[in-house]
Amino acid sequence: SELDTGTNPQSTWMDGVGMNTEGTKQMYDLFGKAFFSYTKPISLVKDLILQVASSDDIVLDFFSGSATTAHAVTQLNVEDGGPRKFTMVQLPEPCDEKSEAYKAGYSNICEIGKERIRRAAKKIAKEHPNVKFDGGFRVLKLEETNMKDVY
Instruction: Render each residue's pLDDT in the chain as its tens digit; 151 residues.
Output: 565 666 555 566 666 677 788 888 999 999 998 888 888 999 999 999 998 999 899 999 999 999 999 999 999 999 999 999 999 999 999 999 999 999 999 999 999 999 999 999 999 999 999 998 889 999 998 888 777 777 6
The SS3 assignment for 30 reads helix
The CA angle 12-87-85, to the nearest 5 degrees, is 75
Give the Cβ contact number of residue 147 at 10 Å: 6
Residue type present at position 101: A
Q: What is the DSSP letter of 60?
A: E
CB neighbour burial string for 83-122, b if at least 16 within 10 angstroms, e if fewer? ebbbebebeeeebeeeeebeeeebeebbbbbbbbbebbbe
